[in-house]
Structure 1
Amino acid sequence: MRSRLAAVCRYEFRMQIRKRSLWLSTAGLAAVIGLAQGDRGPRHLPDGTAAAHVMAGWALLFSMIVPIGFGMVLADRLVRDQRLGAASLLRSLPTRQGTLVAGKYLGAVAATALPGLLAMLVTAAGEFVNRGDASLFAWAVVAFALVLLPGIAFVAAFALVCPLVLTAPLFRALFVGYWFWGNMLAPNYLPSLTGTLVTPIGDYAASWLMGERALYAGAPGWPAFLRPEPGMTPALISIASLALLALPPLVLAGPLLTRRTSS
């Protein structure tokens, strides 16, 4: 079972990592948000700012927009298998449907995460030139793992599975609307999930690393029980919650694929 899961994961990783759209969207979105961050962005933090604070700020900045590109790239992955006939070939292999879905998901997450990690390391190199602190590279990896990666895993699950029901173009349109409503719309303007434990932008984890409130984490709003004061425990709960929320679409993927095949 493990060897088959690893084989599917490797196959999916190789398929995704070769897509130019993945690299171009990541580089383009990271460059845009990096240049448009304004004077409150991490690039303008004063000398002597802790490396953890600096890299958490960059991770949060990238997480505001880069996962949108990941969602767009992954939205037609399972649908494309059906359209090109690859799904029939995969079903002929001695591998369970659940193993195929899990392998595709893990491979897709790994492939989309790699450009994000490289963006963080490139940014750490730029900050190192100005700050001369080698720990920036270690904190870049930590900030990526705690701030960006949970959101990527969350987005990947829905981007892979939802188009089986909604179609890829409709999912992309709804996903962009959700991303800005549920991550960056202040809850005092309109009821929103912004600033809650289930916000995939990672502001609770960023707040923990920075030692201060990042963006809207814990901002007053509804529902109040999902908006505790930022800290280590809420950050870990937020990361775990995003991982758990990624499970339902993955569980439904097998039956959805079977239904599409039989219809």
Structure 2
Amino acid sequence: MRGRFFAVCRYEFRMQIRKRSLWLSTAGLAVLIAVAQGDRGPRHLPAAADAARVMGSWALLFSMLLPIGFGMVLADRLVRDHRLGAASLLASLPTRPGALVAGKYAGSVAATAVPALLVLLVTAAGEFVHRGDPALFLWAVVAFAVVLLPGLAFVAAFALVCPLMFSAPLFRVLFAGYWFWGNLLGPNYLPSLTGTLLTPIGDYPASWLIGERALYAGAPGWLSFLRPEPGGGAALLSVVLLAVLATPPLVFASPLLARRTSS
């Protein structure tokens, strides 16, 4: 069972990592937001800023847009198996549907995580030229793990499964709308999940790295019980909740796949 899971995961990773759309969208969005960050972005942090603050700020900046590209790329992944006729072949293999879905999910997350991590490491190299602090590379990995990766895992679960219920183009439109409403729209303008523990943009972990409130983390608004003061405990709780919320779509993926295969 474990061997089959890793086989599916390895195959999915190798196929996804070769997609030019993944690399082009990641690079394009990273360059766009780095250039358009304004005078309050991490590029303008004081020279005395520590490495954790610098890389936490960069990770939060990239997490504003990069997950949108990841969601768009992954949206047709499972649907494409049916369109190309591969779903019936995969269903005939001696692999349980749950292991197949889990392997595809893990492989997709790993593949999309690679360019995201590289973006932060390249950024750390650029900061190292000016700051000369080798700890930037260590904190780049930490920032990726706690700010970008949980949001990516959350987005990937819904991007893979939701298009099984409706079309991938419709999911992309709804996902883009959700992302700006649930992550970037201030809660004082409209009831929103922005600033809660459930926002996959990672502002709670980023607040822990930066040492102060990042973006809207803990800002007063709707669902106040999900808006504790930022800190290490709140950051950990946010990561755990995102992991828990990514589970339901994966649980429903197997019956959805079975229904599409039989129809």
TM-score normalised to the size of structure 1?
1.00
| Correspondence for 2:30 | 30
| Correspondence for 2:124 | 124
- Give the drift of 1:91: 1.1
Distance 1:141 1:157 in 2: 22
Q: 1:132-159 deviations in whole A, cap 9, x for unaligned?
A: 0000000000000000000000000000
Which letter does structure 2 place at the counterpart of 1:145?
A
| Correspondence for 1:161 | 161
| Correspondence for 2:206 | 206
Distance 2:252 2:242 in 1: 17
Distance 1:98 1:167 in 2: 22
Which letter does structure 2 place at the counterpart of 1:180?
F
Which letter does structure 2 place at the counterpart of 1:17?
I
SS at match of 1:251: helix
- Give the drift of 1:89: 1.0
Distance 1:115 1:94 in 2: 32
| Correspondence for 2:13 | 13
Q: 1:65-103 deviations in whole A, cap 9, x for unaligned?
A: 000000000000000001101111111111000000000
Distance 2:166 2:184 in 1: 24
Which letter does structure 1 place at the counterpart of 2:262?
S
TM-score normalised to the size of structure 2?
1.00
- Give the drift of 1:166: 1.5
**Aligned-residue CA RMSD (Å):** 0.4
| Correspondence for 2:190 | 190
Distance 1:204 1:86 in 2: 40
Distance 1:8 1:229 in 2: 41
The equivalences for 1:42-81 within 5 A come to 42-81=42-81
Which letter does structure 2 place at the counterpart of 1:3?
G
The equivalences for 1:106-255 within 5 A come to 106-255=106-255
State which drifts further: 82-91 or 233-242: 82-91
- Give the drift of 1:117: 0.1
Distance 1:253 1:67 in 2: 21
Distance 2:151 2:213 in 1: 18
Count of aligned positions: 263
| Correspondence for 2:40 | 40
SS at match of 1:257: helix
- Give the drift of 1:261: 1.1
Please list every run of 5 or more consecutive structure 2 residues that lacks an aligned counterpart in the other structure. none
Distance 1:176 1:118 in 2: 24
Q: 1:148-188 deviations in whole A, cap 9, x for unaligned?
A: 00000000000000000111000000000000000000000
Distance 1:48 1:112 in 2: 33
Distance 1:212 1:219 in 2: 12
Which letter does structure 1 place at the counterpart of 2:110?
A
